[in-house]
Structure 1
Amino acid sequence: MTDLQPAPASLSVPGREPDPIRLDVTGADIIGEALALRARGPLVQVLLPGDIPAWAVTDAEVIKQLFTDWRVSKDAHRHWPTFIAGGVPADWPQIAWVSVRNMFTAYGKEHHRLRRLVGPAFSARRVAALRPQIRMIIRRLLDDLAARPDGAVIDLREDYATQVPLRVISALMGVPAELQPRLRVCVDEIFSTSPRRDPRATFTELVDTLTQLVARRRVEPGADMTSLLIGHRDNDDRLSEEELVHTLLLVISAGYETTVNLIDQAVYRLLTQSELLARLRVGAVTWSQVIEECLRFAPPVPNLPLRYAVTDIDIAGTRIRAGEAILACFAAANRDPQLHGPDPDVFDPARSNKEHLSFGYGPHYCLGAALARLEAIEALPALFGRFPELTLAVEPGQLRPLPSFVSQGHQAMPAYLDRPRDLGDGHGH
């Protein structure tokens, strides 16, 4: 019997499972929680905030099967009865993840239509053309850091890991400087599972800010992606106004927060495992290898909400009932002993198989994957080339994780630059 064939009556069904695991909204130990889920099996019942039940999928092959199965949808408006019936409160921390109308939540033909409109902005040629602009952004950030007083403590999360993707995505989308702070605060809140303010206020402010961006670009169109999407809306009427704004929400939030976490986690590994830098400098491993292992080992989005069973699905010895929610646990799936051998919990850029699901799989595979990799491959060697004696200003154990189970990074990363005697031309390339 294959996983997707009808299953015998002995299959586990809801009500026969152990008590569900309540996910920690503070994100205090994402990897420990992921491993505990994985120990229970490929599909585990969990409770999301508000005691909303879901199936957490911890196995890489099961995730792949579900992500490519027509019986699995991301459209809560059509396929999540709990949401349709009003069982998800408006102030639910993940409300923006499930209620928006864009390609992230679209199903079937609607997803294909929306993805086709956004895809050209992330073509290989267009992403490659961004390299000079990305290098300029990085060079200016490093110059700003170099101008800090000797001995000053900087926050590598705020002053570098955040600023690179924020400035890149703002340039790509044509976001003026005065709108960037509001967007950033809202995106940070959306990715938090223990938000500091009412999620309804965050969503309202985010939509309002993006509506202002659309109004600005209608009057002052440019070569940016916002202007491109407005053209699809105004000329071809293939995007509704809501889809336009919600698509901008998706591209800006996904293009910002996830890349911040990727750079954050890579910097952390390099600062806490000094032998890695030595291996990089002699060519024993490459920057690309380090980045891919970071994506596997510490996925920027460790748990991705949500998908829904369109009909009953029998898979991996379990029956997922129609309408039940599904959470992809990438943090667990990326440490699969079947794929990564006996040491999946060891960070090793030289491992032969660094396969991961951190950019998703199947029709919803992340359009921005190439851009995220490009930003990281430019930002990391530039930082450590400019400041080769960079060091944390606190013990690693003092760093605090983001208050979230959907975003994996650090709240802050205090560090000393320990600038080299000869700064050269100030460029990291």
Structure 2
Amino acid sequence: MAQQGSIVIDPSGRDIHGEAARIRAHGPVTRVELPDGVEAWAVSSTELLKRLLTDPRVSKDPRQHWPVWIDGKISPEWPLFTWVAVQNMFTAYGGEHKRLRTLVAKAFTARRTAALQPRVEEITKDLLDGIEKAGRRSGTVDLREEFCYPLPIRVISELFGLPEEKGAELRAVVDSIFHTSATPEEVTDTYARIYAVLSELVATKRAFPGDDLTTALITARDDEGDTRLSEQELLDTLVLMISAGHETTVNLIDNAIHALLTQPEQLAHVRAGRATWDDVIEETLRVQAPVASLPLRYAVEELDLGELGGPDGMVIGKGEAILAAYAAAGRDPVRHGEDADRFDVTRLDKEHLAFGHGVHFCLGAPLGRLEARIALPALFDRFPDLRLAVPDEELSPVESFISNGHHTLPAHLHPGT
């Protein structure tokens, strides 16, 4: 399926920003090769990507608009299969997307998100207490494992009414969904396990309803007449909201901590009042998009990119796939200048597309920002002498070209440790 001259995407995500720079060097849009030779167009221009994300001639539904999928050429063993196969608002188009998003939005309200603040603060304090104890024992704490990860997963689990004992299993399957160099066996096993976990959750909530999002989504399905969620849509909506609802926030908090520890002058700006924690969050989202590249969209009809402000004479053919290259777009020098790669909390223009754009803008963005806004100042206030425990170059990324974060983030909490 791949064409000669395409940039081959490294499924292990070993050098996301180096790869993003190579994509940008080929122009605002270029052909890339995904795992198993699947071809797509990667869009790295901020402005062109915004136009495509809001263009009604661009779909997210492979069942209608991706001939490669329609013709059965995508195997269930493909590492990105779950990203394409789910039937929810993430892969819906037009009226179907509006129907699904409306139902989900009724459950995932701004009021419900705002009401979580005291609980997020409580979980954050509990985690920091645990980190303090762990630091006394060993001197070093893996902040991703002990802080960045458990905060969002505990919040999302409570939000959806997932029993605490299921947290480890949920984490394992979500990690595997984002593992873009997974073996065929891992891909098919993950697909089965995630539905087993969520089917059990739905059955439990039907028997014992609660004040949680799973119950709210079940109610939406059962009470909305012709606009109800089908059983598959219900399960796939849970897949989307639980997986995307915590992985992105894990990476946001992880990357913000890393940026401030490796560039202490930026933390000094915050402590001196020259920048806010919101500045840290938005600049992190721009420079280190938690989702580096997001599969997939499809051209409903032939797209003349020149008419959209892109390169004259370049066309995306009907049915061809489009990869939203968010990590590349966040550092677009056309939008952010020659220092676009630089993390700078005082930068006036921090525009980014890290949560998407247009009708598919992430419903969970307010929750992710809320968690980061609570977690980051609490961490740095509690441990003012926090520092990395290993040289920066020894840190390794998670094995994914979608998820952009660190495998571990070891740190010393106090001086002399």
TM-score (normalizing by structure 1): 0.92
Write out per-residue CA displacement over residues 140-176 of structure 1, whole angstroms, 9 at most, x where no aligned residue: 1111112223443211111100011001111111111
Write out per-residue CA displacement over residues 371-398 of structure 1, whole angstroms, 9 at most, x where no aligned residue: 1000000000001111111111111110
Deviates more, 1:138-147 or 1:234-243: 234-243
Letter in 2 for 1:162: Y
Residues 307-326 of structure 1 aligned to structure 2 (within 5 Å): 307-315=297-305, 316=310, 317=312, 318-326=314-322
Asked if structure 2 preserves the Cα contact closer than 8 Å seen for 1:151 and 1:417, the reply is no
Write out per-residue CA displacement over residues 55-96 of structure 1, whole angstroms, 9 at most, x where no aligned residue: 001111111111111111101111111011111111000000
What fraction of aligned residue pairs are identical, expressed as a percent? 52
Match for residue 384 of structure 1?
380
1:135 partnered with 2:135: no
1:61 partnered with 2:47: yes
Write out per-residue CA displacement over residues 328-377 of structure 1, whole angstroms, 9 at most, x where no aligned residue: 11111112223212311111111110000000000000001111000000
Asked if structure 1 preserves the Cα contact closer than 8 Å seen for 2:108 and 2:213, the reply is no
| Aligned residue among 49, 62, 70 for 1:84 | 70
In the alignment, structure 1 segments of 5+ residues that lack a partner are 1-13, 421-429
Match for residue 44 of structure 1?
30
Match for residue 423 of structure 1?
none
Letter in 1 for 2:158: A
Alpha-carbon distance between aligned partners in 2 of 1:204 and 1:170, rounded to the nearest angstrom: 20
Asked if structure 2 preserves the Cα contact closer than 8 Å seen for 1:306 and 1:326, the reply is yes
1:174 partnered with 2:123: no
| Aligned residue among 187, 209, 218 for 2:174 | 187
Alpha-carbon distance between aligned partners in 2 of 1:39 and 1:341, rounded to the nearest angstrom: 15
Residues 12-411 of structure 1 aligned to structure 2 (within 5 Å): 19-148=5-134, 149-195=136-182, 197-237=185-225, 238-315=228-305, 316=310, 317=312, 318-411=314-407
Alpha-carbon distance between aligned partners in 2 of 1:414 and 1:284, rounded to the nearest angstrom: 28
In the alignment, structure 2 segments of 5+ residues that lack a partner are none
Offset of residue 401 of structure 1: 0.5
Asked if structure 2 preserves the Cα contact closer than 8 Å seen for 1:122 and 1:371, the reply is no
Write out per-residue CA displacement over residues 108-130 of structure 1, whole angstroms, 9 at most, x where no aligned residue: 01100010011133333221111
Deviates more, 1:51-60 or 1:178-187: 178-187
Match for residue 427 of structure 1?
none
The secondary structure found in structure 2 opposite 1:147 is helix
The secondary structure found in structure 2 opposite 1:104 is helix
The secondary structure found in structure 2 opposite 1:223 is coil
Asked if structure 1 preserves the Cα contact closer than 8 Å seen for 2:287 and 2:331, the reply is yes
Asked if structure 2 preserves the Cα contact closer than 8 Å seen for 1:151 and 1:418, the reply is no
Alpha-carbon distance between aligned partners in 1 of 2:83 and 2:29, rounded to the nearest angstrom: 21
The secondary structure found in structure 1 opposite 2:89 is coil
Give the aligned CA root-mean-square deviation in angstroms.
1.6
Offset of residue 273 of structure 1: 1.1
Alpha-carbon distance between aligned partners in 2 of 1:61 and 1:177, rounded to the nearest angstrom: 43
More helix by proportion, 1 or 2? Answer: 2
Specify whether residues 195 and 18 from structure 1 end up closer, same or farther in structure 2 by C-alpha distance, changes over 3 A only: closer
The size of the alignment, in residue pairs, is 406
Asked if structure 2 preserves the Cα contact closer than 8 Å seen for 1:388 and 1:419, the reply is no
- Structure 1 runs (4+) deviating above 6 angstroms are none
Write out per-residue CA displacement over residues 287-342 of structure 1, whole angstroms, 9 at most, x where no aligned residue: 10011000000100010100001111111231111111000111111122232123
